[in-house]
Amino acid sequence: MRVKVLLLSLLFPFFATTLNAVAAVPDGMVLVPAGKFVMGTDKTDRTGDNVPRTYDDARPEHSVILPAFYIDKTEVTNAAYLKFCQATHYPVPPDWKGGKFPAGEADFPVTRVSWFEASAYARWAGKRLPTEAEWEKAARGTDGRTYPWGNDWKEQNLIWNRSKPDKVGSKPAGVSPYGALDMAGNVYEWTSDWYAAYPKAPVTFPEYNETLKVVRGGGFYGYNFGAATYFRSVDYPRARSEWIGFRCVKDAP
């Protein structure tokens, strides 16, 4: 009996912390529990498709342990970003006419936002941009899956083969293991990390330095591999691209 009591006393802080994190999930976010997951891939680059560095910069598979965190359920929308601009006097994206997003696109992901502007929004919202590892775990879970929904390509599960993004959260079948939506397709998303080699990477590239920021998630058009949970793309932090949006994270208690 004494052993059982001791065991319960040791486990109680863990369960209490987990229950508190679940109970306190902020509005519009989902909880990604603490623990280990598999990041990256052991696949090698394909040949013949004229797309360099398809997989090599995501090698090798390696285990990463993360504390619990919350992540936005969807990408930040035009409507949400407009509130930020109005509150802070940051400029709106350059493609907005008359300071307004296009009619009917309030719930579309905001794009043409630089990494610096995305970071400023996150701070204003009391959040931050996700690390590359946080983003991948939120999209992939702990079973090493290729896409947020599993290992088989299912175009009906994501916003794909389009000429532009679409409303966030409109593909519920593409949900990640933790409840995050649009982590494949729609728009790429800024992360906080510079483009760098993984531990024990078999291949290194001259672009690995503090010049390019990693973006994740695939866009609204492209090759299937771009939507893989481990696929890495990059852009300059000052870039404002029609392909790139973002979502935020927040530390869990």
* pLDDT at residue 23 in the model: 63
* Residue 241 belongs to some domain of the structure: yes
* Residue 19 belongs to some domain of the structure: no
CA within 13 Å, CB half, 207: 13
* pLDDT at residue 49 in the model: 56
Token readout for 189 is 């998303």
CATH number of the domain bearing residue 67: 3.90.1580.10
The answer to whether the CB of 204 falls within 8 A of the CB of 171 is no
CA–CA distance, 163 with 160 (Å, rounded to integer): 9
The answer to whether the CB of 43 falls within 8 A of the CB of 32 is no
* Residue 16 belongs to some domain of the structure: no
Three-class secondary structure of residue 38 per DSSP: strand
* pLDDT at residue 197 in the model: 97
Token readout for 61 is 């598979």
pLDDT in tens, 126-174: 999 999 999 999 999 999 999 999 999 999 999 999 999 999 999 999 9
In the chain, pLDDT over 90 holds for what percent of residues? 84
Helices (H), 95-148: 115-124, 132-140
Domains in the chain, number: 1
* Residue 11 belongs to some domain of the structure: no
Indicate the DSSP class of residue 3: H
The answer to whether the CB of 181 falls within 8 A of the CB of 173 is no
* Residue 12 belongs to some domain of the structure: no
* Residue 170 belongs to some domain of the structure: yes
Task: Give the domain extent around 47.
Answer: 26-251
In the chain, pLDDT over 70 holds for what percent of residues? 88
DSSP 44-84: ---SSS--TTSSGGG-S-EEEEE--EEEESSPPBHHHHHHH
Token readout for 127 is 């959040």
* Residue 188 belongs to some domain of the structure: yes
* pLDDT at residue 45 in the model: 82
Sign of the Cα pseudo-torsion (131, 135, 136, 137, in order): positive
Residues in the chain with pLDDT < 70?
1-23, 46-52
* Residue 18 belongs to some domain of the structure: no
The answer to whether the CB of 182 falls within 8 A of the CB of 217 is yes
